[in-house]
Amino acid sequence: MSRREELVKLINEQIKIENDYVERAAKLEKMISNAAAKLLLRETRLDSSKHAGILNGILEMLKGLPPEKSLWDYQIESYTDKLAVKESLKSHIQIEEEMLAHVRKEIRHTEDEGIKLLLKHIAEDEKKHHKILTTVIKNFYKVE
Q: What's the pLDDT score for residue 71?
A: 67
pLDDT over 90 at 81, yes or no:
no
User: Tens digits of per-residue pLDDT, 9-32?
Assistant: 999 999 999 999 999 999 999 999
Residues near 43 by Cβ (< 8 Å), separated by ≥ 6? Answer: 121
Q: What's the pLDDT score for residue 54?
A: 92
* Per-position DSSP letters for the chain, written without gaps between them: --HHHHHHHHHHHHHHHHHHHHHHHHHHHHH---HHHHHHHHHHHHHHHHHHHHHHHHHHHHHTS-TTS-GGG---S-HHHHHHHHHHHHHHHHHHHHHHHHHHHHHHT---HHHHHHHHHHHHHHHHHHHHHHHHHHHTS---
> What are the Cα distances from residue 69, in Å, to 17, 22, 80, 107, 121?
28, 32, 23, 44, 36
Around 97, how many Cα atoms within 13 Å sit in the side-chain half-sphere?
A: 9
| pLDDT over 70, % of the chain | 89
User: Tens digits of per-residue pLDDT, 93-121?
Assistant: 899 899 999 999 999 999 989 889 889 98
pTM > 0.75: yes or no: no
